[in-house]
Chain A
């Protein structure tokens, strides 16, 4: 089955700096890669996702890059703000089957220091 590894487990940055979280996956058939943000006491929120037919996707300060050959994808947050502090999870899945199960990484706790 699929296995997703996520690094680092914790990340502390100064406000205004960039943050990068990296994930690798094992199943070359995976073709959908979402990122979720979990704030304390709240449900995980989808912040951005990418499909295997594109290499990069941006949404304001957030971007995700995908390298299918190396089987890794990364989340980039620019101009970080204190409200970006949360736990971020990457995940991988296949959309070409009836299954919708996501395989998650172990999470990264991002702390943005004001």
Chain B
């Protein structure tokens, strides 16, 4: 089974430019999450999709960040325009809750995209 795939693995852009990160979840996983770790601090939640719908976007820092998940498959996270403080590692994760059998709530994380804004 393929894991969660993120690309690019690294991105270096100038302040003011636009960057789009992509995440391909595990096939069949309805839940997709974006997290980020900035400046070596804690990993912080950004948002949660259930299929194509935004279930929770309480962690999105500001309107320069736009996440989409068209068709409920892969997701993109666009930063426009990028600022220096956006530098960090952006993680995507997916999960397939199984409420009825009390199944695995655990996420599978991708390896992350390291974004550097200069």
Which residues from chain A sit less than 8 Å from chain B, CB to CB?
A: 4, 32, 34, 36, 38, 41-46, 49, 89, 95, 98-107
Contact A49 B41 (CB under 8 A): no
A-B contact count (CB 8 A): 65
Contact B91 A44 (CB under 8 A): yes
CB B53 to nearest CB in A, in angstroms, measures: 11
Q: A43-B112, A44-B91, A101-B56 are in contact. Are A32 and B105 (CB under 8 A)?
A: yes
Q: A34-B106, A46-B108 are in contact. Are A100 and B4 (CB under 8 A)?
A: no
Identify which of A42, A44, A98, A103 contacts B55 (C-beta below 8 A). A98
| Assembled-state Cα–Cα distance A99/B55 (Å) | 7
Contact B3 A43 (CB under 8 A): yes
The 6 closest A-B pairs by CB, nearest first: A46-B106, A44-B109, A101-B45, A43-B109, A104-B43, A43-B111
B16 within 8 A of A: no
Identify which of A38, A46, A98, A105 contacts B107 (C-beta below 8 A). A46
B75 within 8 A of A: no
Q: A43-B3, A89-B43 are in contact. Are A101 and B109 (CB under 8 A)?
A: no
B31 within 8 A of A: yes
Of A38, A46, A98, A99, most buried by chain B (CB within 10 Å of CB) is A46
Which residues from chain B sit less than 8 Å from chain A, CB to CB?
A: 3-4, 31, 33, 35, 41-45, 48, 55-56, 58-59, 91, 93, 95, 97, 105-112
CB A28 to nearest CB in B, in angstroms, measures: 19
Contact B105 A95 (CB under 8 A): yes
Contact A102 B107 (CB under 8 A): yes
CB B22 to nearest CB in A, in angstroms, measures: 15
Contacts of B111 in A (CB 8 A): 41-43
Contact A43 B110 (CB under 8 A): yes
| Assembled-state Cα–Cα distance A4/B44 (Å) | 11
Contact B109 A36 (CB under 8 A): yes
| Assembled-state Cα–Cα distance A45/B112 (Å) | 12
Contacts of B106 in A (CB 8 A): 34, 46, 49
Identify which of B4, B42, B95 contacts A104 (C-beta below 8 A). B42
Contacts of B56 in A (CB 8 A): 98-101
| Assembled-state Cα–Cα distance A46/B3 (Å) | 13
